[in-house]
Chains A and B, each alone.
Chain A
């Protein structure tokens, strides 16, 4: 699987690291690629991370729990908005 654009950014690496620890490397890489493709974004900013985290939270289970953690990380990293997962429809 090819790496998504901007995969060396601080926010991409933060998401990948936390997801890998909880979900395993294979599942983390596949999931991060799918969610970013669905959202049509790259993880370039803290706001991108907040959006990505909300989409992940919506999945529920362990993926959702990691998403909730990443939404806190996004705020701590300076996200200007908090995106409720329900807002993603």
Chain B
């Protein structure tokens, strides 16, 4: 066996060889050599040293059968007779081909399993790296299964709400919602799950300190190659200060209008008073 490996290392098969393994891989047809002649060894040898070695193996007969799965030749099964003196015949071919067929299925399954394992490992690594990214977002973020069951929240979510995954997973998030807004949020979220439409809404969430803060919540479906929703990805952006600034600007505008109206009224009162004073002064001057 060691000699055979050494031979292959030193004299790798040439794809254009007229017989042997390369020919069977090329054609996909079993090759039976009942009696290995010295002429054949001369034909197959790459150089005199090679010929010397293969002559030393005392090869008598061989069958090379293609390992074929789903129409693709994966390799070959080579059966060789040497010291025993026995020779293969056409009667041995069906057994060898059946054996090769079963071996090819096993090899193909192993390749499929390996490919699937690699794909799964790549998908898990990709998911892990995405979760690491999401975990470090400055916003509150989370991921849900296609049916809306939330199975991941990032660190900012837990920091703000003071909750745990056990409390929040699935539909546990309802606990950190203001009951006044919850029915509308739930209705619209269920609508998105049913239709696949993105979700966008502003609503308050209750913080760990018991105080609500307003968030702009956006949820988008993450679709697979076939277009089906594989996950939902949601973010909650704190807009409390933006809302406060907006409300403050509106209040200031309102108050400015009130102040302007009050100033106008005061000026009118002042004008009326000045006119009255002028009238009185004029009357005093004209009266004897």
Q: Which residues of A contact B (CB under 8 A)?
A: 18, 21-24, 26-27, 30, 62, 65-66, 69, 72-73, 76
Q: A51 → chain B, closest Cβ, in Å?
A: 19
| B259 pairs with A22, CB closer than 8 A | no
Could you pull out 15 A-B pairs where Cβ atoms are within 8 angstroms? A18-B251, A22-B248, A24-B204, A24-B214, A24-B240, A26-B211, A27-B211, A62-B241, A62-B245, A66-B248, A66-B251, A69-B255, A72-B255, A76-B258, A76-B262
Size category, B interface: 10 to 19
Alpha-carbon separation in the docked complex, A21 to B253 (Å): 13
Taking CB atoms, residues of chain B closer than 8 Å to A69 are 248, 251-252, 255
Neighbouring A residues of B241 by C-beta, 8 Å: 62
C-alpha gap A72/B251 in the complex (Å): 12
A66 vs B89: C-alpha distance in the bound complex, in angstroms? 102
Which residues 216-243 of B have a CB within 8 angstroms of A? 240-241
Specify which chain B residues have a CB less than 8 angstroms from the CB of A72 in the assembled complex.
255, 259
B residues adjacent to A (C-beta < 8 A): 204, 210-212, 214, 240-241, 244-245, 247-248, 250-252, 255, 258-259, 262
- Residues in B neighbouring A30, C-beta threshold 8 A: 211
Contact of B212 among A18, A24, A62, A76 (CB under 8 A): A24
Shortest distance from the beta carbon of A28 to any chain B beta carbon, whole Å: 11
> Which 3 A-B residue pairs are closest in the complex by CB-CB distance?
A22-B247, A62-B244, A21-B247
Which of B204, B211, B244, B255 is the one whose CB lies under 8 Å from A73?
B255
A23 cross-chain contacts in B, Cβ below 8 A: 244
> In the complex, which residue of chain A has the Cβ closest to the Cβ of B211?
A26
Give Cα A18–Cα B7 distance, bound, in whole angstroms: 92
Which residues of B lie under 8 Å from residue A27 when comparing CB positions? 211
Shortest CB–CB separation between residue B148 and chain A, in angstroms?
28
Within the complex, the shortest CB–CB distance from A73 to chain B, in Å, comes to: 7
Chain B residues, Cβ within 8 Å of A24:
204, 212, 214, 240, 244
The distance from the CB of B112 to the nearest CB of chain A, in whole angstroms, is 58
How far is it, in angstroms, between the C-alpha of A79 and the C-alpha of B204 when the chains are bound? 37
Considering the chains assembled together, what is the distance between the CA atoms of A74 and B248 in angstroms?
17
Q: Which residue of A lies closest to B206 (CB)?
A: A26
- In the assembled complex, the Cα of A73 lies from the Cα of B211 at a distance in Å of 28
Question: For residue A62, which residues in chain B have a CB less than 8 angstroms away from its CB?
Answer: 241, 244-245, 248
